[in-house]
């Protein structure tokens, strides 16, 4: 008399389904989603990704566009001196200070390449033969003289830079003189990262 009929007896499958539904409902309430929890089939379908895109040409175009945008972002970050996009040789506060130190001053070396090119072009002008040798000799003397001035200027600048770095950081990184000198002999508009300080400004 106390036995239930077969139609009223709960099966293990129904019990498991009810427990799963209750668990999902509890998770939904706890997380405060405010929306229905996706079923297992929906989650599996969302996780499926085709190994080969349906439209390969469109996928290649999209990949090229993403690569171009990333390159432009990296180039802009490098030009702005963003540490995330700098190569190893440009990273660090001392390298940043060295760049600002160089960019804040006039350097003899930044005029080296334009002057050398201009003087070499002078030697190709159609001078008379008796004057041409004299002009070539003077050009060679000026080029070497300007080169020596550049070396002296870089040595002086390197010494001042190292002193400032030691005052600010307690020590100077190895190779920072060479790093600053290589920047000093570049034309200001061509320096990379781009100058972040005006001439005459004091590097911070």
Q: Which residues of the chain fall short of a pLDDT of 50?
A: 1-12
Identify the pLDDT of residue 37: 63
Identify the pLDDT of residue 82: 78
Half-sphere exposure of 71 (CA within 13 A, CB side): 6
Identify the pLDDT of residue 39: 73
pTM above 0.75, yes or no: no
CB 165 within 8 A of CB 171: yes
Closest C-alpha to 110, from 164, 191, 176: 191
Identify the pLDDT of residue 7: 45
Separation of alpha carbons 109 and 174, rounded Å:
22
Identify the pLDDT of residue 4: 47
Identify the pLDDT of residue 78: 78
Report the share of the chain in percent with pLDDT over 90.
Answer: 43
Structure tokens that stand for 33 in this block:
């989603």
Identify the pLDDT of residue 145: 94
Identify the pLDDT of residue 133: 85
Separation of alpha carbons 102 and 97, rounded Å:
9
Identify the pLDDT of residue 44: 67
Identify the pLDDT of residue 49: 57
> What is the DSSP-derived secondary structure letter of residue 175?
T
Separation of alpha carbons 121 and 185, rounded Å:
20
The domain locations on the chain are 15-47, 90-190
Cβ partners under 8 Å of residue 176, min gap 6: 94, 95, 98, 161, 162, 165
What pLDDT, in 10s, does the model give residues 106-137? 999 999 999 999 988 988 888 887 788 888 88
Identify the pLDDT of residue 184: 95
Structure tokens that stand for 96 in this block:
């940043």
């Amino acid at each position: 008399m106390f036995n239930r009929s077969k139609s009223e007896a709960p099966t293990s499958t129904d019990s498991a389904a009810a427990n799963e539904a209750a668990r999902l409902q509890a998770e939904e309430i706890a997380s405060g989603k405010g929306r229905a929890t996706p079923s297992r089939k929906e989650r599996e379908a969302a996780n499926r990704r085709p190994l080969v895109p349906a439209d390969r040409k469109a996928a290649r175009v999209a990949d090229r566009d993403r690569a171009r945008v990333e390159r432009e972002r990296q180039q802009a970050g490098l030009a702005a001196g963003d540490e995330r996009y700098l190569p190893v040789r440009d990273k660090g506060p001392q390298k940043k200070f060295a760049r600002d130190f160089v960019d804040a001053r006039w350097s003899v070396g930044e005029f080296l390449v334009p002057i050398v090119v201009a003087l070499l072009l002078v030697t190709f002008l159609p001078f008379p033969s008796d004057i041409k040798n004299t002009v070539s000799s003077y050009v060679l003397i000026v080029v070497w003289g300007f080169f020596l001035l550049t070396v002296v200027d870089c040595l002086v600048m390197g010494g001042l830079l190292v002193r400032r770095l030691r005052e600010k950081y307690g020590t100077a990184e190895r190779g920072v003189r060479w790093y600053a000198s290589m920047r000093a002999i570049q034309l200001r508009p061509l320096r990379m990262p781009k100058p972040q300080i005006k001439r005459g400004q004091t590097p911070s």
